């Protein structure tokens, strides 16, 4: 059995340096302390790497790019437009004790640094597969922090098991059940309608419709 696969290591080094480092560490652990202890070291390092990535996951402020369906990272789509007064943010990880503070800080800094007053923050929550008790407490505090700023917290695309968990925490009652939306598109249309925001979606424009208009 080959323990050291140079070709695979080259691929790891090129496409995912953290896996390369883990492979090297595992090789030396097995070579110095034996197979079973080396495997134990590898498992421990893998778990630590998972926590590290979940602690500071990727996130993105989303906008509507002309000609592209859905809402996308504005850093990847510089021509993407954002609805005035609405912050759409996607968090690509479960919410738990290790990243709860980072999530809260990210939301508040995005609101405070926005060029215009933010009325709503909508979390694009499809990647959030779990919310632990620490994160639930954080969300309650975040809701209060945003309320002080005159900003509403909302969620879109939450998975049903996560909704059930938020129900048990009492968070859906706290935030308001009418601030949970099945899709980002529905959330945007509801925001535009409630606040009478002038916003023309490119798809609606192509059909001759204006989001939030009385004819909708």
Domain identity same for 36 and 137: no
In a domain, 212, yes or no: no
Domain identity same for 43 and 145: no
Residue ranges making up the domain that contains 43: 6-55
Domain identity same for 83 and 137: yes
In a domain, 50, yes or no: yes
pLDDT at residue 35 in the model: 79
In a domain, 214, yes or no: no
Instruction: Tell me which range, 26-40, 74-88, 201-215, is most confidently predicted by mean pLDDT.
Output: 74-88
Domain identity same for 70 and 170: yes
Domain identity same for 35 and 79: no
97 confidence band (pLDDT: 50, 70, 90): very high
Domain identity same for 51 and 85: no
Higher pLDDT, 132 or 210: 132
4 confidence band (pLDDT: 50, 70, 90): low
CATH of the domain at 100: 3.30.750.24
CA distance 182 to 190: 11
54 confidence band (pLDDT: 50, 70, 90): low
Domain identity same for 87 and 49: no
Pairing between strand 120-124 and 152-156?
A: parallel
In a domain, 216, yes or no: no
Using DSSP, state whether 216 is helix, strand or coil.
Answer: coil
CA distance 152 to 22: 42
Domain identity same for 23 and 101: no
31 confidence band (pLDDT: 50, 70, 90): confident
In a domain, 1, yes or no: no
Please report which residue ranges of 16-159 form alpha helices under DSSP H.
Answer: 17-33, 35-55, 100-113, 133-148
Domain identity same for 66 and 168: yes
Burial of 168 (0-12, 13-18, 19+ CB in 10 A): exposed
pLDDT in tens, 157-186: 999 999 999 999 999 999 999 999 999 999
Structural domains in the chain (count): 2
């Amino acid at each position: 059995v080959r323990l050291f696969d140079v070709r695979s290591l080259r691929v790891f080094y090129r496409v995912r340096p953290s896996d390369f480092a883990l492979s090297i560490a595992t090789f030396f652990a097995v070579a110095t302390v034996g197979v079973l202890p080396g495997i134990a070291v590898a498992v421990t390092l893998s778990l630590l790497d998972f926590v590290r990535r979940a602690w500071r996951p990727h996130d993105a402020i989303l906008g509507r790019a002309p000609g592209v369906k859905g809402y996308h990272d504005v850093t990847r789509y510089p021509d993407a437009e954002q609805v005035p007064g609405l912050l759409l943010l996607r968090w690509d990880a479960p919410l738990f004790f290790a990243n709860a503070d980072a999530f809260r800080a990210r939301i508040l800094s995005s609101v405070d640094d926005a060029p215009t007053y933010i009325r709503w923050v909508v979390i694009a929550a499809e990647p959030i597969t779990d919310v632990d008790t620490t994160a639930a407490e954080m969300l309650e505090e975040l809701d209060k922090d945003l309320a002080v700023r005159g900003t509403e917290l909302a969620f879109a695309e939450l998975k049903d098991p996560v909704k059930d968990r938020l129900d048990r925490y009492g968070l859906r009652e706290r935030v308001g059940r009418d601030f949970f939306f099945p899709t980002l598109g529905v959330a945007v249309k509801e925001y535009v309608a409630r606040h009478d925001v002038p916003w023309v979606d490119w798809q609606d424009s192509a059909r001759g419709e204006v989001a939030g208009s009385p004819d909708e």
